[in-house]
Amino acid sequence: MKIVFANSAWVSAAERLILRGGGWQSVRLRVRYGLIFHPTAGPVLVDTGYTPEALTGAGRGRMLRLYGALLKPELNAAEQVLPVLKRFGLSPDDIHAVIVTHFHADHISGLSLFRNARFIASDAAWARVKARTSRQNLRHGIFTELFPADFEARLDGLSTKPRIEPRGAIPGGADLFGDGSVLAVDLPGHADGQFGLLFAGELRPLLYAVDVQWLLRALSENRTPGFPATLIAEDPGAIEPTSAMLRRFMASGGEVMLCHDPAMTAHDLAPAVAG
């Protein structure tokens, strides 16, 4: 099974906001999404990253426009989801499953591009989205306008998946394709319903831990940022227990990858060669 990650955009932040004890220098963060080539499910997206639908689209609501103005993400045209699919000879209609790790804009902004896809996501978190008002969802960092109108009809909820139990430091989770190849691992703290992906069949087990931290250093060196970073966390008290679980996984020989860490990894897509 092949796994690649691409960088949809960059977002800059002062280091001290995302690394306890860091400096005021700006850190240029990636905004990753993934593409899995599964032997039976075919090409499967992991989130969509930022797309123009969230940042430059003419039909955006006032709050989504304000969000873009405050964060100022810089779209990476070469690694937007459609050009990356084209590099692999794929079109949006070839994608029949999108794994949605959580419902923040930098993970769902391109969902409407994939009209043939089922959405593998937390159905419990979706139920809470539906139960809240638009204003309440905004407080949780969720812009409901980014969901396709038929999102619920195409939702493939985690609660329907069989679960595999933890094995020592190897976390358990929902078996997304019924073959043990990709497990959805609960990662509470950052966002309602956030889960990561464990690729246990890799030579070195890989856990894509999404937004548990922004920097791998904050995780591995136990330098979790405090206030004001915790203001945007769904459950600040869960961040450290989740981070500790990931450190145990790394200590056992596993590899952790984050959505926003700026360092290039072996799983990141190599830049396209011009010409």
Residue 272 resides in a domain: no
Q: What is the pLDDT of residues 219-273, one digit of tens each?
A: 999 999 987 788 889 999 999 999 999 999 999 999 999 999 999 999 999 876 5
pLDDT score of 258: 98
Q: What is the pLDDT of residues 96-133, one digit of tens each?
A: 999 999 999 999 999 999 999 999 999 999 999 999 99
Residue 263 resides in a domain: no
pLDDT score of 226: 82
Residue 251 resides in a domain: yes
pLDDT score of 230: 84
Domain count across the chain = 1
Among 231, 258, 228, CA closest to 243 = 258
Q: What is the pLDDT of residues 162-190, one digit of tens each?
A: 999 999 999 999 999 999 999 999 999 99
Residue 275 has pLDDT above 80, yes or no: no
Residue 268 resides in a domain: no
Q: What is the pLDDT of residues 56-68, one digit of tens each?
A: 888 899 999 999 9
Residue 274 resides in a domain: no
Residue 273 resides in a domain: no
Q: Please tell me the distance from the alpha carbon of residue 110 to that of residue 90, in angstroms, as a whole number.
A: 16
Does this model's pTM top 0.85? My answer is: yes
pLDDT score of 232: 86
Q: What is the pLDDT of residues 123-168, one digit of tens each?
A: 999 999 999 999 999 999 999 999 999 999 999 999 999 999 999 9
Residue 146 resides in a domain: yes
Q: What is the pLDDT of residues 77-94, one digit of tens each?
A: 999 999 999 999 999 999
120 is in which domain, residue-wise? 2-257
Q: Please tell me the distance from the alpha carbon of residue 78 to that of residue 56, in angstroms, as a whole number.
A: 16
How far does Cα 195 stand from its chain's mean position?
A: 8
Residue 18 resides in a domain: yes
- What is the rounded average pLDDT of the residues 198-224? 94
Q: What is the pLDDT of residues 20-61, one digit of tens each?
A: 999 999 999 999 999 999 999 999 999 999 999 899 888 899
Query: Which CATH number covers residue 180?
Result: 3.60.15.10
Please count the other Cβ atoms lying within 10 Å of the Cβ belonging to residue 106. Answer: 25
